[in-house]
Structure 1
């Protein structure tokens, strides 16, 4: 009996509809919860680049192979392994990985055709980067989202310096500094999702695509017409998302995370003794994260407030390349994902111990010209 070849980590398909086709990209790496590696990023980019100039291709759908997990982030274990092998202060493999990932995210944000991202189940880190970049962002009642990078000695990247700053008030700062889980109602409230559809409703959605009055890709304003058509279809299929804890705590979040002093914001959170149980839970988790990563995160968020999306990605590439080689990231990934003892030995006991010189070194790009300068 012939041995079956393994399926690729991203499945690429096309659904024929009136006036053209819909591209379907399915994340297919269940063993690692669809964590993005170099192969997956390359496959996604190749398909998107080919489809953006195909006049028959009207829109793109981004799904996962499972209803339980959309994408649990980037494959940071592989990044750590490359960094350990390289030694020294610079890892070319890490730079290549982050450059490719950020180019993918930027492509999604600027894609000329509608992109539907289906964030059902777990959506963490790099998965949220994919979701945030789509034009039509779907969550479901089972969606659980977070930017939990502090737990591995890293910071919220994949454009988070941009989209966390777009959230109401300082809610993005709380999510970035604590790694708190948030649900569909919170995703709608904070603006990283547009629609809440029922769990396991993808098949029905695809059926409905055949009933729509699509406009062929070679017709004037076809992208705008088809985007509106999708918006109306998704809106008609929406279900109740429930209440947002972030909305309920917004005033308290803004008080805790207000101002321009990064260390003061962190200390305000860590010393919280208020009545909100959700904020208390968030702070409890934050105390387990890397003090250095907390300082990096708040500086990145504050510095990114007035930056364009391209400028944020350019800054992230330098910072991520530096951090990949840093002991803090390597120890965080070891404790959480390699040995899984959940006992990271952080370099500092408290964020106040982090020296300004340490931060300055991390935020100094490793090259005179960024590989992403062409985004501007």
Structure 2
């Protein structure tokens, strides 16, 4: 029987096509850089669950819709304006968003058929969550990968603890704390991407997926590999030795003191970035990465679900670091968040550990079914 498309509910924010054995998904919210809404997460989950069971579908490709006349974006993350309004209104949909998003991340990592992510342009936050579990992560010279959550008083979720902690040395801590964006060469070097395709070749690749014969999963993968090129040279700013020297230290205060003592341009620029972030959420993020290093993906996602609950409920409404961070960046756009505490020296160990105290018994955890 030919493959079937499940009913979708995001009003065109997710598009799905079938060509032979290939299921093709397009994130279609280009004006928002394809940021994920709850309806989009539900559509992606429905498609993948249906196609996982459909023998007519042998491979899946996901890409982001382009903006007319502008640079591409795969997915810029979750809809942070929704986070802000839902948190202030106390809407249960906010809890649903994170539970269902993390379950989707787990589904992608464990998807039994080739799942290929065309990571052209901006790939941040939730965009990393729906691409890092791909069997084949395709990058271009326009790819810009980051987990910038500390910028809004959040932490690198969507499995970020799991995949960032697998980066070599202490690069994961650096990426998590600073939110630094990396390009294709660095991403492949650090294990966050697989192959490089020039941006100019992407239209032909996508056209081949839509119109060319796709008779088997092997043929779908071969279609990608026909367009693969040598990745750009690794950016020397990765500075692995310096990163390990500073970001391998025991806590955020020690990292910042080490950067200040080093005094070189890179160290001082990195320190300036950290000083703009929420001190509390920097400390939570470092604890998250260190714990995740010894966790399975399912364990990490359950931990992250605990942490994100506390991001919005330990201090509710406008008192939340995350709500305040989003306000400063995206709502009022004054870029002057009022972090509490304001200094890393004033963050207590008890404040950090409170984020890791699960509000649920194991048998009641919203992600208890993940294995």
Q: Which TM-score applies when normalising by structure 2? A: 0.88
What residue is the counterpart of 1:63 in the other structure?
63
- 2:323 equivalent to 1:330: yes
Cα distance between partner residues in 2 of 1:230 and 1:274: 50
Residue from 61, 78, 81 that aligns with 2:82: 78
- 2:140 equivalent to 1:150: no
| 1:360 positional shift | 2.1
| 1:280 positional shift | 4.4
| 1:352 positional shift | 2.1
Residue from 271, 279, 282 that aligns with 1:283: 271
| 1:51 positional shift | 0.6
| 1:201 positional shift | 2.6
Cα distance between partner residues in 2 of 1:116 and 1:274: 42
> In the alignment, is the contact (CA less than 8 A) between 1:125 and 1:157 conserved in 2?
yes
> In the alignment, is the contact (CA less than 8 A) between 1:70 and 1:119 conserved in 2?
yes
Cα distance between partner residues in 1 of 2:23 and 2:236: 34
Cα distance between partner residues in 2 of 1:297 and 1:170: 13
What residue is the counterpart of 2:35 in the other structure?
35
Equivalent pairs, count: 350
| 1:162 positional shift | 0.5
Cα distance between partner residues in 1 of 2:236 and 2:106: 27
Gaps of 5+ in 2: 1-9
What residue is the counterpart of 2:176 in the other structure?
176
Change (3 A) 1:92 1:59: same
What residue is the counterpart of 2:248 in the other structure?
258
Residue from 243, 249, 258 that aligns with 2:233: 243
Q: Deviations over 1:129-151 (max 9, x none)?
A: 11101111011001111111111
In the TM superposition, 1:1-376 aligns within 5 A as 8-16=12-20, 21-66=21-66, 68-86=72-90, 92-208=92-208, 214-215=215-216, 226=217, 229-245=219-235, 249-259=239-249, 261-268=250-257, 270-271=259-260, 273=262, 275=264, 277=266, 280-325=268-313, 326=315, 327-368=320-361, 369-376=364-371
Cα distance between partner residues in 1 of 2:25 and 2:138: 15
| 1:230 positional shift | 4.7
| 1:255 positional shift | 1.1
What residue is the counterpart of 2:4 in the other structure?
none
Cα distance between partner residues in 2 of 1:347 and 1:264: 16
| 1:127 positional shift | 0.6
> In the alignment, is the contact (CA less than 8 A) between 2:87 and 2:94 conserved in 1?
yes
Cα distance between partner residues in 1 of 2:237 and 2:109: 25
Cα RMSD between the aligned structures?
2.2
> In the alignment, is the contact (CA less than 8 A) between 2:260 and 2:268 conserved in 1?
no
Q: Which deviates further from its counterpart, 336-345 or 353-362?
A: 353-362
Change (3 A) 1:272 1:145: farther
> In the alignment, is the contact (CA less than 8 A) between 1:131 and 1:192 conserved in 2?
no
Gaps of 5+ in 1: 1-5, 216-225
Cα distance between partner residues in 1 of 2:238 and 2:46: 42
| 1:284 positional shift | 2.5
